[in-house]
Structure 1
Amino acid sequence: MATEAVKATSHTFDVALQWDKISQSGVIRTGNRMPVLFAAPPEFNGTDTVWSPEHLLVASISSCYLTTFNYFAQLLRVELKDIRVRGEVEIEKVSGGGFWAKAYRIYPEIEFPNTPDPHVIDNLLSKAKRYCIVSNSVKGEVIVEPQIRYN
């Protein structure tokens, strides 16, 4: 784990997008990362065959929550057997026009190989929500409904 990078006080992340007017879809690129195809969703006259901005938004919050939870689990030396996160975003029309993301629901399913102390689990859940950069950057309410299993 690169703890020096985490200690930095500022980070910049960049992306480049290119739109193809024939396919009515675009591609997101940055560095050596795999490109991501995107388009408007069917609800906004788009397609369901590539990622929509709305799906990328909830995927960003869900993946940020997962990686933040995992970071603190490693830092606190709490062993995880499995972690999965499902997420959804509620988009609502605003009076006067436009839409906004009213609420994000995150459903982490976390399995531990043993039974950690309940305060350890509460601490991890709290830290993951509090330190998730993406969920701290949105206006809508972020609701986390975890399922915890022990094996």
Structure 2
Amino acid sequence: MKLDLHRYDVAIRWTGNRGAGTADSRAYGRDHVVSATGLPDLPGTADPTFHGAPDRWNPEQLLLAALSQCHMLSYLYLAARAGIVVTGYRDAAVGSLRVNRDGSGEFVEAVMHPVVTLADEARRAAADALHEDAHRVCFIARSVNFPVRAEPVAPGADGEDG
């Protein structure tokens, strides 16, 4: 069986040199630009806790966004295959990062909180069950070494409509 191999290319360019380079850990900015051919640039930085700018995307947010996007896309595909008509989807994903005493760190968990609106509410149980399957086929969730869960939220239960 031949496996399909897909390649993804991105470029990172550091823009945070304030004139002294990395003379010390507070002398430089963490700002950078993430780019890929044909796409708009993405302003990046470190988490503000680690001297980053609060108005730019940090790697931790991007990892969590990738997990949430992948779960949604996998879920929508499975719903379509199962004949479940989804008319709305949103998520409020939360990730937990542990910073170790030596300055290293790792994500210890990511939890998706998808709110799915259905054309036929009678299909709710089947629709909710698809989250587990979506997790199993999500490329990004399969690639990380920490737990990723989906905890579906009923439409309206979070105070917003679907």
Distance in 2 of aligned mates of 1:24 and 1:125: 36
User: How far 1:85 moved relative to its partner?
Assistant: 1.1
Q: What stretches of structure 1 of length at least 5 have no aligned partner?
A: 1-7
TM-score (ref. length: structure 2): 0.80
Aligned-pair CA distance for 1:74: 2.1
1:93-104 to structure 2, matched below 5 A, reads 93-104=99-110
Q: Could you tell me which of 62, 73, 83 is aligned with 2:89? A: 83
Higher strand share: 1
Question: Percent same amino acid among aligned pairs?
Answer: 23
Q: Check if 1:31 corresponds to 2:37.
A: yes
* Number of equivalenced pairs: 145
Q: Distance in 2 between matches of 1:115 and 1:46?
A: 44
What displacement does 1:119 show?
5.2
Indicate the residue corresponding to 2:159 in structure 1.
none
Q: Is the CA contact (8 Å cut-off) linking 2:135 and 2:149 kept in structure 1?
A: no
Contact 2:84 2:127 in 1 (8 A): no
Tell me whether 1:67 sits opposite 2:73 in the alignment.
Answer: yes
Say which SS state the counterpart of residue 66 (structure 2) adopts. Answer: helix
What is the TM-score of this pair, normalised by structure 1?
Answer: 0.85
- Alignment of 1:131 with 2:137, yes or no, is yes
Instruction: Tell me if the contact between 1:61 and 1:135 (Cα under 8 Å) persists in the aligned partners.
Output: yes
Aligned-partner Cα distance in 2 for 1:49–1:97: 24
Q: Which among 13, 20, 24 is matched to residue 18 of structure 1?
A: 13
Secondary structure (helix, strand or coil) at the match of 1:147 reads coil
Q: Partners in 1 of 2:79 and 2:49 — Cα distance?
A: 38
Residue 119 to residue 107, structure 1, CA distance change in 2 (3 Å): closer
Deviation, 1:96, is: 4.4
- After TM superposition, the structure 1 stretch with the greater mean CA deviation from structure 2, 138-147 or 8-17, is 8-17
Structure 2: gaps of 5 or more residues: 19-28, 157-161
